[in-house]
């Protein structure tokens, strides 16, 4: 691939950089304050930043302009996310922009598009994902949440788990089984629903880092209008697999990890020549550069109208495993202080973010497809090996 920007790409990169220099909150750039709630609720700093990005028309970078998007090319999306990441500022999209919106654009009716897309762009509808269940994680098609048609409504009964941010979102997109007699991939339908729907209960699941983003949700005769079913009945699995051709290289994660490693280097300098910690930091940085190069490869494939299948799995697998290694190494290098969470009477490092990052890195090799699933995709689709 050619690493050089074209003249048009360079002009776009310059435009993004100018916007970030003029408008990005200093709390993100200079103080390295992370977004408290990247789904938009309960974080005034993030809400203010979101409004500025929305004014530029960059919230839904990959959506067609007719639906309020920016219709950016793959490389323009890649460059924007790369520059945002380098400046440590979040892109305020979220699941509603990256996942729900494209699904509605491709599979929704004109009425659904008119009703559901504008609130996403305005930041009024913040979605959580209702996919995983206690007995349906990696094998998602085994889900059992039941949806029975009654007139113009569906009645849902069952449970979802690991419904991230369910307590701070006001809408959910979910999959439910509408035909229990059909083969498991063919009896599923895709729905959206407000979280305040009667019979829908959310229960937070505290994690080891003191957070409560993870949740389980219960459906007790929850009634969803048939007009909130997206796509055909019993075709929800294929609707859920839909994505528009938007940039999904993982560049923001790769650069974010690289910046974290550089921050760690600054925390522990100077280290004696040849020390194990110094060598580990060097290896971590080299590995982060590999992750960045892999992200470039995915973007280049998409720019050529190719589908990065196993290549995207390679990025996810390598980056999540590297994130875990970085967190473990950071706590080891920093010693006991690196294990302390925020509120440890000033003895914690970097306001306890290192310890929280370690705890948060544990599910990184599970969320979004486990490392085992990613290895299977790479083996079968990339290497052509037979299924086990």
- Strand 127-130 and strand 171-177: pairing? parallel
Peptide bond into 40 cis (omega under 30): no
Catalytic residues: 247
What's the whole-number mean pLDDT along residues 30-37?
67
Tell me what the pLDDT averaged over the chain comes to: 91
Rounded percentage of the chain residues whose pLDDT exceeds 70: 95
Domains annotated on the chain, with CATH: 7-93 (1.10.540.10), 127-240 (2.40.110.10), 251-382 (1.20.140.10)
Three-class DSSP category at 155: strand
Continuous segment of H or E residues that includes residue 188: strand 188-194
Q: Token pair 């925390």 is at which residue?
A: 267
Task: State pLDDT tens for residues 287-299.
Answer: 999 999 999 999 9
Give the separation between CA 296 and CA 304, rounded to whole angstroms.
Answer: 12
pTM of the entire predicted model? 0.88
Q: At what angle are helices 251-268 and 310-334 packed, to 10 degrees?
A: 20
Three-class DSSP category at 353: helix
Task: State pLDDT tens for residues 252-293.
Answer: 999 999 999 999 999 998 888 889 999 999 999 999 999 999
Q: Token pair 């994505």 is at which residue?
A: 243
Task: State pLDDT tens for residues 138-160.
Answer: 889 999 999 999 999 999 999 99
């Amino acid at each position: 691939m050619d690493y050089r920007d074209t003249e048009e790409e360079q002009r776009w990169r310059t435009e993004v950089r100018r916007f970030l220099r003029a408008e990005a909150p200093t709390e993100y750039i200079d103080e390295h304050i992370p977004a408290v709630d990247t789904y938009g609720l309960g974080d005034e700093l993030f809400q203010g930043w979101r409004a500025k990005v929305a004014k530029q028309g960059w919230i839904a970078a990959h959506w067609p302009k007719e639906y309020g998007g920016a219709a950016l090319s793959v490389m323009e999306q890649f460059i924007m996310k790369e520059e945002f990441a380098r400046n440590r500022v979040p892109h305020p999209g979220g699941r509603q922009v990256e996942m729900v919106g494209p699904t509605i654009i491709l599979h929704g009716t004109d009425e659904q598009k008119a009703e559901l897309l504008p609130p996403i762009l305005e930041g009024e509808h913040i979605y959580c994902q209702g996919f995983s269940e206690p007995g349906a994680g990696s094998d998602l098609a085994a889900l059992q949440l039941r949806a029975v048609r009654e007139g113009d409504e569906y009645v849902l009964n069952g449970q979802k788990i690991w419904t991230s941010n369910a307590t701070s979102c006001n809408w959910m997109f979910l999959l439910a089984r509408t035909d229990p007699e059909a083969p498991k991939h063919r009896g599923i339908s895709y729905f959206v629903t407000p979280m305040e729907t009667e019979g829908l209960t959310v229960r937070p699941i505290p994690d080891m880092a003191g957070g409560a983003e993870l949740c389980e949700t219960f459906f007790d005769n929850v009634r969803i209008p048939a007009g909130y079913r997206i796509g055909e009945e019993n075709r929800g699995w294929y609707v859920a697999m839909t994505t528009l051709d938007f940039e999904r290289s993982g560049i923001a994660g790769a650069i974010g990890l690289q910046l974290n490693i550089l921050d760690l280097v600054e925390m522990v300098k100077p280290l004696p020549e040849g020390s194990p910690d110094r060598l580990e930091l060097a290896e971590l940085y080299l590995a982060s550069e590999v992750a960045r190069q892999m992200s470039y490869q995915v973007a280049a494939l998409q720019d050529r109208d190719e589908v990065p299948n196993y290549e995207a799995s390679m990025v996810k697998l390598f980056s999540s495993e590297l994130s875990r290694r970085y967190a473990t190494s950071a706590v080891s290098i920093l010693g006991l202080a690196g294990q302390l969470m925020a509120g440890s009477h000033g003895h914690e490092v970097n306001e306890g973010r290192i310890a929280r990052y370690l705890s948060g890195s544990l599910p990184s090799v599970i969320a979004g497809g486990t490392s085992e699933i990613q290895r299977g995709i790479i083996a079968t689709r990339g290497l052509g090996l037979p299924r086990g």
